[in-house]
Amino acid sequence: MLVRLSARARDSHTPLSNPVVAWRTWLALRRTFPRVWAACLTPAAIELLLESESPTRATRAKRALARQLAWAARRSGLREQWHHVYDPYEVAVRSQLVRNMREVHLLPCDKLQVADPLSWPWSTYRGLIGAELDPWVDPAAVSAEFRWPRDGFTQRLHAYTSTDERRTGTPLPGPAKPSAVAERPLGLVLRAALSATFWSSTTVQRRVGIALAHEQGWASSTVLARAMSMHPASVRRLVRGTDPRWLPAATLCLGDSRLCFDAVTARALRDSLDAARRGSEGREQSACRAHAPRLTCPESSSSAFDPSSTGGDTRSSEPWVIQSA
């Protein structure tokens, strides 16, 4: 069965307005609900469209989402701001999947007057368009479910999503062209790489960032190493192992400002990823000490590169990871 899960904040409250809290919640939602058809997060709402084998499992999914929000409220100090998680709503007709996906992805446009769903970072729509290396929702699975040809799927989906009785549609994003001369700022290039690879590992993020910088004319290993807090030898080593199939998502983010995160959003994302890694490593070290008291666990590895060059510091005071239900 196909169900929609919705959570709403209390009137005039926006518990997810802080981008750091929003990113931590967004990353945790994928860990808890790895297979969804659509998902979107706004400062005062969360929408999920997912499969459920039975009404009992749909109720369990509701409780899992409620626990996620309760954990987020406790750790961020924003208690009693969420109203509640509504009972799962069953989409009775399978053919309504595409319409429900559009409703979920247009949530920021309807509630926040966002001009384009592509401009909203916390939505699975970006991945469906091809702007994420490891998207939460697989475009091939959606194409097969809709019975739409894979060729032209992106154009058809964007035309359907961005056009209705209140909207005239927006253009489809295009990739940035390679350049032998460094015309774009390095900070912008690295932010575009992070915008496309935040679901991926730190190594992949760095490989894509270096490869995209090379493609845009930033060939100096010394300059890249300084910008990414790495050794020049590490930069030269990583660039040799980059899969060419990793670049299209990053070039798409670089070619369209709607897909490339701004400096504040990128800084908040980097801090959230660093906090998640520290929390994961901390749990592993605790497990090591519990089972083998004499074992010395390695210290935390170096954090991912900082892709932001400007913007306010929105770093959190404590590493925090929402536990899966």
Q: 221 versus 80: which is more confidently predicted?
A: 221
Looking at the fold, whether 12 and 84 belong to one and the same domain comes out as: yes
Residue 243 lies in a domain: yes
- Asked if residue 155 lies in contact with residue 172, where contact means CB atoms within 8 angstroms, the answer is yes
Looking at the fold, whether 151 and 19 belong to one and the same domain comes out as: yes
- Asked if residue 170 lies in contact with residue 211, where contact means CB atoms within 8 angstroms, the answer is no
Looking at the fold, whether 8 and 115 belong to one and the same domain comes out as: yes
How much is the pLDDT for 280?
A: 58
Residue 312 lies in a domain: no
Residue 297 lies in a domain: no
Residue 178 lies in a domain: no
Looking at the fold, whether 137 and 236 belong to one and the same domain comes out as: no
Looking at the fold, whether 9 and 50 belong to one and the same domain comes out as: yes
Q: Point out the domain boundary residue: 255, 290, 307.
A: 255
Structure confidence at residue 1 as a pLDDT band (50, 70, 90): confident
Question: What is the reported pTM?
Answer: 0.82
Residue 118 belongs to a domain with what CATH number? Answer: 3.30.70.1290
Looking at the fold, whether 164 and 32 belong to one and the same domain comes out as: yes
Q: Write out the DSSP string of 222-261.
A: HHHHHHHT--HHHHHHHHHT--GGGHHHHHHHHH-TTTS-
Mean per-residue pLDDT of the chain:
83
Burial class (CB in 10 A: 0-12, 13-18, 19+), 15: buried
Tell me: the pLDDT tens digits for 105-146? 999 998 888 889 999 999 999 999 999 999 999 999 999 999
Looking at the fold, whether 11 and 150 belong to one and the same domain comes out as: yes
Q: Point out the domain boundary residue: 236, 255, 274.
A: 255
How much is the pLDDT for 103?
A: 93
Looking at the fold, whether 16 and 129 belong to one and the same domain comes out as: yes
Instruction: Please report where in the chains the tokens 């400096």 appear, as a residue.
Output: 263
**Ranges 106-115, 171-180, 240-249, 297-306: which has the least confidence:** 297-306
Structure confidence at residue 5 as a pLDDT band (50, 70, 90): very high
When pLDDT is averaged across residues 56-83 and rounded to a whole number, the result is: 80
- Asked if residue 195 lies in contact with residue 253, where contact means CB atoms within 8 angstroms, the answer is yes
Q: Point out the domain boundary residue: 232, 255, 278.
A: 255
Give Cα 325 to chain centroid, integer Å. Answer: 20
CA atoms within 13 A on the CB side of 59: 3
Looking at the fold, whether 86 and 199 belong to one and the same domain comes out as: no
Looking at the fold, whether 141 and 33 belong to one and the same domain comes out as: yes
Domain that holds residue 215: 186-255
Tell me: the pLDDT tens digits for 196-206? 999 999 999 99
Looking at the fold, whether 12 and 125 belong to one and the same domain comes out as: yes
**How many domains does one find in the chain?**
2
Residue 302 lies in a domain: no
Looking at the fold, whether 85 and 149 belong to one and the same domain comes out as: yes
How much is the pLDDT for 125?
A: 97
Res 243 pLDDT > 70:
yes
How much is the pLDDT for 82?
A: 78
Tell me: the pLDDT tens digits for 262-318? 999 999 999 999 888 876 545 544 443 443 333 222 333 333 444 444 333 333 333
How much is the pLDDT for 83?
A: 74
Long-range CB contacts for residues 274-277, cutoff 8 Å, separation at least 24: 274/303, 274/304, 274/319, 275/24, 275/316, 275/318, 275/319, 275/320, 275/321, 276/24, 276/27, 276/319, 276/321, 277/202, 277/301, 277/303
Kindly state the percentage of the chain with pLDDT values over 90.
59
- Asked if residue 61 lies in contact with residue 33, where contact means CB atoms within 8 angstroms, the answer is yes
Residue 47 lies in a domain: yes
Residue 224 lies in a domain: yes
Res 212 pLDDT > 90:
yes
When pLDDT is averaged across residues 160-165 and rounded to a whole number, the result is: 86
Output the CA–CA distances (angstroms, integers) from residue 21 to 146, 291, 305, in the order listed: 34, 33, 20
Q: How many helices (H) and strands (E) does the chain have?
A: 13, 7
Length of the chain: 325
Residue 66 lies in a domain: yes
Which two structure tokens, joined as six digits, stand for 20? 């750091």
